[in-house]
Chains A and B, each alone.
Chain A
């Protein structure tokens, strides 16, 4: 079988044809790097023993521009994103699947570095990619590479985490600094380039979640504030639980550089995406202990209690500003774009 010319080659239509060329790509790139026994079964599906208990399943499509950004790339992001979605039910993630849509002409060297980064993220997380698929679209009909990943996991018996369980009196925690991922992406976006030491916070949070549910299985809600940022996540949870929320600006961790970038571009850190943070809502009496657990875990070392759940028929999220005022923190309207006025 012919070898793949990773150094100089590009994705060709034949790589998605299902023929010999496809097989070479799968063997030399995907199986080689993802390297695990279930994937090597080589069937259209991977077979494994089902664990006892409730299972969760989540899927996430990943498109990001640029594909490589400070602190990560689309590969690691596609692993972290789905692991986190599974983990936000309190589950232990077990396996991932991955499907790639490649654009004709995309450099194989870049694809390999994405796959290597994906494999490293999955190995580090202990959640293997056990099945996958690859398709190729004509040049101009894709943006280099799109990756969809699906994850499954199993939830501990005593855990009941759901977005509709927030109750008045609960406290709201965030696991660390907000806005890092979105700021890192903006800094490398064409036309906006600015230099910063901020890197994406892209990370798998299931370890942190495991420690949290062990310490406080009574947690009501967990969610990762990705697109739309903290503001959008809190509004989703408020609506789902039919409650209001009151947060305090002064307690929300935001790095000076993220604030700086936001002032420059007219954006609000509350709406900037995160890929390695979680929002936790728990009964007030559990909050301090939970905060301790989070702060003792590397990915939660800057965790903070940022507000509380209140009863409110309008399901508004309101914020006490650092300045001393009070304002509504609304859903994001459209996409957040840099502004001049």
Chain B
């Protein structure tokens, strides 16, 4: 697989590992936040922990769209599909995420709600075209990577006059979440592996403020294991030299400006949302987007007057702290006992790139075999 296999070469990985080992300073701790679930997944799937020196630690970040979506938004979607008897289309990732009261989209579907898993928002458009007598709501989630396709779909629906297609917008933005985490001062890190696919859209310059305001080195890092390792080396070098800048390791897909066309599409359809609740991070100002009034006909929140539902935290679950990089999953007393991939209590156990699921699936080797 071109542009994949070359970046999964184990022998080259050991060379980079040797170099990292050589360059880390013994009296320093390197705590690097891997911002994205994609990085978390790569670190575990390829066993990168084992290749790192003992004073270099990866700290999980909040970059998993499924994990940061608050339970109340899922509960609202379930109420909507059950009360209005409409068709709810969702990416499959969301199906098993716990909503309140031990509910989930999966369980609502089993009760009879018409919930359909789609691979692309375009499939939701097709469902709307094929079911003109029914309302079709697309449950839009994700960061800037997943937002432009939603924007395109709304424009297509408008151009076609597809009145039964609606979007429940839950798109969130990466730089505000990063700034918030750093401003809170809770988490002690000295470098960030920055988002890769988000950055193809927003560009590496989007992190300049974050880097300057919080004096933290950021390296935009691809999701393949060699990308993560090379970015780690670049961060080690910045930290050693006392430098603090945004570097772009993923230059094969990310430019300083990003994808201008996609940005224009997003700006045309969406506007800043004043406040949005994140699971784990709380309500953050200017951290999410909503559908502009010009496209109000396609806004499910407006059409059905959806209001936020407050949901109680799950007792004992430390997902909020895990998402902020404060705790490791195995420090949670529910981890691998009450909370497993089969019966997830917290969101981080659901998505395969959630920190808890990654620890559970791949990480137990270390603890259970003593290797």
Contacts and interface: CB of A to CB of B under 8 A. Distances in A.
Assess A/B contact in the complex (Cβ within 8 A). Answer: yes
Interface in B224-259: 225
Given A322-B8, A323-B225, A325-B47, A337 B92 contact: yes
A122 to B, nearest CB: 35
A265 interface: yes
A179 B243 CA distance: 48
A50 interface: no
B204 interface: no
A341 B371 CA distance: 30
Judged by DSSP, the binding face of B is helix
Interface string A318-341: 100111111110100110011111
A192 B46 CA distance: 28
A341 B369 CA distance: 29
A319 B334 CA distance: 27
B260 interface: no
Contacts of A326: 47, 50, 365, 371
B330 to A, nearest CB: 14
Contacts of A139: none
A19 interface: no
Contact of A316 (B91, B95, B118, B365): B365
Interface in A239-295: 256, 259-260, 263, 265-266
Interface stretch (B20-28, B299-307, B356-364): B356-364
Interface string B337-370: 0001110000000011100000011111100110
Given A321-B47, A325-B48, A327-B362, A341 B142 contact: yes
Interface stretch (B37-45, B75-83, B289-297): B37-45
Interface in A114-160: none
Given A192-B119, A337-B95, A341-B66, A323 B4 contact: no
Contacts of A263: 1, 4
B146 A340 contact: yes
Contacts of A256: 1
Contacts of A192: 119
B171 interface: no
B13 interface: yes
Interface residues of B, number: 50
A332 B371 CA distance: 23
B361 A341 contact: no
A55 B212 CA distance: 75
B103 interface: no
Given A333-B341, A341-B37, A327 B47 contact: yes
B286 interface: no
A323 B342 CA distance: 28
A330 B360 contact: yes
Nearest to B343: A333
Size band of the A side of the interface? 20 to 34
A224 B314 CA distance: 40
Interface string B103-143: 00010000000001111000100100000000000000010
B93 interface: yes
Contacts of B93: 337, 339-341
Given A314-B368, A314-B369, A337-B95, A327 B119 contact: no
Given A312-B369, A322-B8, A341 B353 contact: yes
B364 A316 contact: yes
A316 B368 contact: yes
Contacts of A321: 10, 45-47
A191 B363 CA distance: 34
Nearest to B224: A323
A337 B163 CA distance: 30
A140 to B, nearest CB: 13
Contact of B361 (A191, A266, A328): A328
Contacts of A322: 8, 10
B221 interface: no
A334 B50 contact: no
A326 B369 CA distance: 11
A333 B342 contact: yes
B340 A327 contact: no
Given A328-B361, A333-B340, 6 more contacts: A323-B13, A325-B50, A326-B365, A333-B342, A338-B92, A341-B353
Q: What 8 pairs across the A-B complex have the smallest Cβ distances?
A: A325-B47, A333-B341, A324-B10, A337-B92, A323-B10, A191-B123, A314-B368, A327-B362
24 contacts: A191-B116, A191-B118, A265-B119, A316-B369, A318-B369, A321-B10, A321-B46, A324-B10, A325-B48, A325-B51, A327-B47, A327-B362, A328-B361, A328-B368, A330-B341, A330-B360, A333-B342, A337-B92, A337-B117, A338-B119, A339-B93, A340-B92, A341-B64, A341-B351
